[in-house]
Structure 1
Amino acid sequence: MSLLRLPPEILMLIFDQIGSSFSREDLGRLTVCKQWLGFALPACFKCITLSQETLRNLITSGIIKKSFLLTNSLETIDLELRGYQSCIFPPYSQEYAQEPNSLNATSSNEASRDNTAKTCIKTLKNVFAQLAIVAQQSNRLRTLRIRAWSSPEPASRPGDYLTLATMQAFLSLEKLRVLVLDLSGSFLDASGEQGNSYHICPAIGALLRTLRTLHLRMRSICPDVLKPRDPDDSLHLSVVAINLSHPGIMSVTHSKQCGSRGGGVLRLKAAIQEQGEVLATRMASPKTIRILNHSLPQFEIQSLDVLTGKTIILDDDMAWDEDSKTVKEESEPESEITDDGFSTFLDE
Structure 2
Amino acid sequence: MRKDIHDYDLSRHNTFGIHATCRRYIEFSDEADLIGILASLTEADHPLFVVGGGSNILLTADYPGTVLHSAIRGIEPMPYPTSADDILVRVGSGEVWDDFVATAVSHGWYGAENLSFIPGEIGASAVQNIGAYGVEAKDIIYKVEAVEIATGSCITIPAANIGYAYRYSRFKDEWRGRYVVTHVTYRLHRRFTPHTAYGNIAAELQRLGIATPTAAQLRDVIISIRRDKLPDPAVEGNAGSFFMNPIISRAQYESLLATWPVMPHYDVDADRVKIPAGWLIEQCGWKGKSLGKAGVHSRQALVLVNRGGATGADIIHLSDTIRADVRTRFDIDIHPEVNIL
More strand by share: 2
Q: TM-score, normalised by structure 2?
A: 0.27
Q: TM-score, normalised by structure 1?
A: 0.27
> Which structure would you say has the larger Rg?
1
Specify which structure has the bigger relative contact order, considering alpha-carbon pairs within 8 angstroms and separated by 6 or more residues. Answer: 2
